[in-house]
Amino acid sequence: MDSQVPGCLRLVSPIEGVKTLSDRAAIWNAVHHERGRLVQDLEGIADEQWGAPSLCPGWTVHDVLAHLIDSATTSRLGFLRQMVSARFDFDRANAAGVERHRSSDPGKTLAAFRAAKERTDSPPASLATRLVEAYVHGEDIRRPLGMSSYYPTEHVVTALSYMARTGAGLGGGRERVYGLRLSPSDFDLHIGEGPEVRGSAIALLLAASGRPIHPGEVTGAGAMTLSARA
C-alpha cells in the first residue's frame, strides 16, 4: 500500500457551473445500469474464460464477479460484522466475501449477481465508491477478456474525483495522483495541479486505482510518474 502523502487535491473546472455527479438517485441508476450491462457481457463467455486472471492481482474473472456480489449485498451493519470477523483486515474480509459468493458453477454466480443488480446496499462509505466499484471492476473483468465498453463520462469523472481526494487507507488513490494534474480528454475539467496527465476518464480512473493500462492511454509530462506509482 502506498505511503501517506500530506495535502489534498483541488477539483477545478475551467467552465463555470460544471460539476461532477452527486445526486443519490442518479448514482444508483448509473450503478444498476452498469451491473446490468456487465451481466449481459458475461452471459455468453466460454467456460474457460471464467478462470482468466483479472486486473486484480490474484483474482480471476470469476473471483471479481463474486466480489461484486458481496459488495452489492453488504449493508453498513453487515460490513462492520465482516470487518470484525476479519480482524479489521480489508484483504481478509474481501477474500472471505469472494469465497462466500463464488459458486462452483460460474453460471450460478452470474445468476446471483443478476438477482442482486438492483440492490442499494452499501458499506459505510461515500456513494461514489459504488461508481468506482462498478467501473473499475467492470474493466478488471472486461479488459482481460478482450471486451471494450463505453462508460458515461460524467459518472466516471465522479468516481475519478473521489479516488483523487481519498487516501489509500480508505481505498482511494490520492497518493498515486498527488502532485499531478489529471485532465480527462473526454470531459472539460481537471483535477489537481502539477505535470499534466491526459487520457480518457476511464483510463485515468484505472491508473488512479493502480490498474495497468495500455501503452499510450495516458500522455503528458506526468504520465511516466503516474505509471511508476501504479
> How do residues 88-119 score in pLDDT, each as one tens digit?
887 898 899 999 999 999 999 999 999 999 99
**Same-domain pairing of 118 and 217:** no
Q: For residue 4, is it within any domain?
A: no
> Going residue by residue through the chain (230 aa), what tens digit of pLDDT does each one get?
333 332 233 333 333 333 455 588 999 999 999 999 999 999 989 999 999 999 999 999 999 999 999 999 998 888 889 889 878 887 898 899 999 999 999 999 999 999 999 999 998 889 999 999 999 999 999 999 999 999 999 999 999 999 999 999 888 999 999 999 999 999 999 999 999 999 999 999 999 999 999 999 999 999 999 999 87
pLDDT for position 53: 98
pLDDT tens digits, one per residue of 4-35: 332 233 333 333 333 455 588 999 999 999 99
**Same-domain pairing of 113 and 127:** yes
Q: For residue 172, is it within any domain?
A: yes
**Same-domain pairing of 47 and 128:** yes
Give burial (CB, 10 Å; 0-12/13-18/19+) of 17. exposed
The number of distinct structural domains making up the chain is: 2
Q: For residue 1, is it within any domain?
A: no
Choose the final residue of a domain: 142, 171, 195. 142
**Same-domain pairing of 123 and 196:** no
The per-residue b/e assignment along 82-108, b for 16 or more CB within 10 angstroms, e otherwise, is beeebeeeeeebbbebbeebbeeebee
**Same-domain pairing of 29 and 138:** yes
**Same-domain pairing of 182 and 210:** yes
pLDDT for position 48: 97
Q: For residue 113, is it within any domain?
A: yes
Long-range contacts of 145-151 (CB under 8 A, 24+ apart): 145/45, 145/49, 145/52, 145/61, 147/41, 149/37, 149/41, 151/34, 151/201, 151/202
Helix, strand, or coil here: 59? coil
Q: DSSP string covering 141-167, please?
A: HHTTTT------HHHHHHHHHHHHHS-
Pair 24, 125: CB distance under 8 Å: no
**Same-domain pairing of 138 and 219:** no
**Same-domain pairing of 201 and 157:** yes
Q: For residue 87, is it within any domain?
A: yes
Q: What is the mean pLDDT of the chain?
A: 89
pTM of the prediction? 0.88
Q: Which residue carries 454466480 as its cell?
A: 109
**Same-domain pairing of 134 and 31:** yes
Domain extent, residue 98, equals: 24-142
CA distances from 24 to 82, 121, 194, 207, 213 (A): 25, 13, 32, 26, 30
**Same-domain pairing of 30 and 133:** yes
**Same-domain pairing of 32 and 130:** yes
